[in-house]
């Protein structure tokens, strides 16, 4: 193994499709073996596992459904272990993980939903992946070891959507992780952490990217690599816009806007730790590692007005009306305080004399999949205002530079989609985005039209 240099450590994250089966894990191992600077590897659960664990964690399935979900998860994990032929210790560990899944899912459906148990259950998908990849690397002759991310990723106790504690993570990484890096390639889990009482927490759906960024920040890594099933960040989700193309370089600010406004390629919070620590981020494809991919950095050579588009479906528009709002102070503060208590973040906002309209993201990043607008929330809002909730909406974001200071951008948007209804528009808060709220049924047409107009000319 090449001599370990603290300043050149690379953290590499492999997503669910990249660890879906043994051939996929072999591709991860090829990438790791080809670059000795990769000392920390962060993995997600194999594709399809977290969705099934989420279904089990809701505790609503009957015995037959529960058994079906468990046997599907077991089939995925056994197909990997069957081909990998791991040591008896690994097989015993796998049996322990799978029987814990059965135990926890039975508890949640019989005794009732308990947030800490839900997270303990969800974490088992990632635990299986890190165990398998560490074993595969060992079989290939690398000194690797499976490391429990809960030892380092300290969070608050908001199970299902826990918030990381970067300072504490830095200290724990120094104590428990750094000393291992000289001798080992460490494989660990994304998505999971622990609270101050050492209970397992999860960071919200898609949270493995964030875990990897937190490890990179804590280690002051030379780079963070996000390996996935596409060869970089595209000008738009290639599943939505077939003519989208990969972007060579993008700034942290632009990539963060893309992630926030729906580009599933990165978890929205991923870039904060990377940006704080000035760690450049590479996004590449596990199947085609030789392709150039995308680099996310502080500065890029080109600064186009329009760099990319993103789409977030499942938007909810909440309109709050109250005559008390007229010339009154504190109405918005009260409204936002209630939303904050329910841990709901607001994206777009417009106001009129007696009403305020807000968009809320209902796609739900909560790992447990609990719904966003609860009856408790509506009951708390009732004394303050009349509330109307509209769904079936989508948010389309145009992302780039100086959008709010460039003439004709907004007029071009309106011209290009003149026949579609724009329910709400938001421009000016950031020079990096212009957002429109449209009917979900129109979203695909609008996205393709704007892509042709702004990015294919
Ligand atoms: N702008 C974009 N560029 C590339 N991929 C995107 C973009 N927006 C959304 N995606 C989607 O993100 C997917 C990768 O994210 P995800 O499925 O979470 O991967 P992983 O399991 O590796 O974390 C791609 O398959 C692609 O369809
Ligand atoms: N397994 C978790 C965490 C994650 O980030 O997965 P992926 O890297 O496959 O998006 C989830 O599905 O939410």
Residue 119: the pLDDT is: 98
Cα separation, 137 vs 17, in Å, equals 18
Ligand 2 atom nearest to CA at 13 = 8
Confirm or reject: Cβ of 15 under 6 Å from ligand 2.
Answer: yes
Residue 290 forms part of a structural domain: no
Note the pTM of the prediction, 2 decimals.
0.91
Confirm or reject: Cβ of 191 under 6 Å from ligand 2.
Answer: yes
| Domain final residue pick, 208, 229, 250 | 229
CB under 8 Å to 453, separation ≥6 — which residues? 412, 416
User: Do residue 207 and residue 334 come from a single domain?
Assistant: no
CATH number of the domain that 159 lies in? 3.40.1160.10
User: Do residue 338 and residue 205 come from a single domain?
Assistant: no
| Domain final residue pick, 229, 250, 276 | 229
Residue 371: the pLDDT is: 63
Residue 395 forms part of a structural domain: yes
User: Do residue 195 and residue 327 come from a single domain?
Assistant: no
Residue 312 forms part of a structural domain: yes
Residue 213 forms part of a structural domain: yes
**3-class secondary structure per residue, 234-268:** ECCCCCCCCCCCECCEEEHHHHHHHHHCCCCCCCC
Residue 157 forms part of a structural domain: yes
Strands (DSSP E) contained in 95-199 are 144-147, 185-189, 192-194
Q: Domain of 361? A: 307-455
Cα separation, 310 vs 264, in Å, equals 9
Minimum CA distance residue for ligand 2 atom 8:
15
- Tokens (6 digits) for 202: 């999860």
Residue 330: the pLDDT is: 83
Q: Is 14 among the annotated ligand-binding positions? A: yes
User: Do residue 338 and residue 217 come from a single domain?
Assistant: no
Going edge to edge, which strands form the sheet with 355-361?
A: 346-351, 355-361, 306-321, 386-400, 433-439, 422-427
| Domain final residue pick, 161, 194, 229 | 229
Residue 405 forms part of a structural domain: yes
Residue 112: the pLDDT is: 86
Which residues in the chain show pLDDT less than 70? 1-3, 326, 362-371
Confirm or reject: Cβ of 227 under 6 Å from ligand 2.
Answer: no
Residue 410 forms part of a structural domain: yes
Please answer whether residues 234 and 227 qualify as being in contact, where contact means their C-beta atoms are separated by less than 8 angstroms. no
192 beta partners: 202
Total number of domains in the chain: 2
Judged on CB neighbours under 10 Å (0-12, 13-18, 19+), 226 is buried
Ligand 1 atom nearest to CA at 206 = 18
Ligand 1 pocket test: pick from 28, 190, 229 the residue with the most ligand atoms within 8 Å of its Cβ.
229
Cα separation, 311 vs 263, in Å, equals 7
Ligand 1 atom nearest to CA at 232 = 4
Give per-residue pLDDT as tens, 88-124: 999 999 999 999 999 999 999 999 889 999 999 999 9
Residue 261 forms part of a structural domain: no
ipTM of the complex: 0.98
Minimum CA distance residue for ligand 1 atom 14:
265
The 8-class DSSP code of residue 162 comes to: P
CATH number of the domain that 394 lies in? 3.30.2130.10
User: Do residue 28 and residue 130 come from a single domain?
Assistant: yes
Confirm or reject: Cβ of 39 under 6 Å from ligand 2.
Answer: no
Residue 369: the pLDDT is: 47
User: Do residue 21 and residue 165 come from a single domain?
Assistant: yes
Backbone angles phi and psi of 57, in degrees to 5: -65, -25
């Amino acid at each position: 193994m090449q001599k370990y240099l603290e300043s050149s450590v690379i953290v590499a994250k492999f997503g669910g499709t990249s660890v879906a089966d043994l051939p996929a894990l072999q591709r991860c191992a090829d990438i790791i073996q080809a670059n000795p600077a990769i000392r920390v590897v962060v993995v997600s659960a194999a594709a399809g596992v977290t969705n099934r664990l989420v279904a089990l964690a809701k505790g609503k399935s009957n015995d037959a459904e529960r058994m079906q979900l468990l046997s599907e998860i077991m089939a995925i994990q056994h197909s990997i272990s069957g081909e990998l032929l791991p040591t008896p210790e690994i097989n015993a560990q796998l049996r322990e993980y799978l029987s814990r899944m059965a135990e926890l899912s039975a508890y949640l459906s019989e005794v009732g939903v308990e947030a800490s148990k839900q997270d303990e259950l969800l974490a088992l998908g990632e635990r299986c992946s890190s165990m398998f990849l560490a074993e595969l690397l060992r079989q290939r002759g690398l000194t690797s070891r499976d490391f429990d991310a809960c030892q380092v990723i300290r969070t608050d106790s908001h199970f299902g959507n826990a918030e990381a504690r970067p300072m504490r993570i830095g200290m724990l990484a120094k104590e428990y992780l750094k000393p291992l890096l000289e001798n080992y390639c460490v494989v660990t889990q994304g998505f999971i952490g622990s609270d101050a009482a050492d209970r397992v927490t999860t960071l919200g759906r898609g949270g493995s990217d964030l875990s990897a960024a937190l490890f990179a920040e804590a280690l002051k890594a030379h780079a963070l690599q996000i390996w996935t099933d596409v060869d970089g960040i595209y000008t738009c989700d290639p599943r939505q816009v077939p003519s989208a193309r990969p972007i060579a370089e993008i700034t942290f600010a632009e990539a963060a806007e893309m992630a926030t406004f729906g580009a599933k390629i990165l978890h929205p919070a991923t870039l904060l730790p990377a940006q704080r620590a000035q760690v450049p981020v590479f996004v590449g494809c596990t199947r085609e590692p030789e392709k150039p991919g995308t680099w996310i950095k502080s500065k890029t050579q080109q600064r186009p007005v329009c760099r990319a588009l993103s789409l977030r479906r499942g938007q909810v528009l909440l309109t709050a009306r109250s005559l008390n709002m007229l010339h009154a102070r504190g109405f918005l503060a009260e409204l936002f305080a209630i939303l904050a208590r329910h841990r709901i973040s607001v994206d777009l906002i417009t106001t009129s004399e007696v009403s305020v309209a807000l968009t809320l993201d209902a796609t739900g990043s909560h790992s447990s999949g609990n719904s966003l607008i609860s009856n408790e929330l509506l009951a708390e809002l009732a004394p303050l205002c009349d509330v109307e909730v509209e769904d079936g909406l989508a948010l389309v974001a145009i992302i780039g530079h100086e959008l709010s200071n460039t003439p004709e951008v907004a007029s071009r948007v309106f011209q290009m989609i003149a026949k579609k209804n724009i329910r709400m528009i938001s421009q000016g808060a950031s020079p990096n985005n212009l957002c429109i709220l449209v009917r979900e049924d129109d979203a695909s047409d609008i996205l393709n039209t704007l892509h042709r107009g702004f990015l294919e000319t």
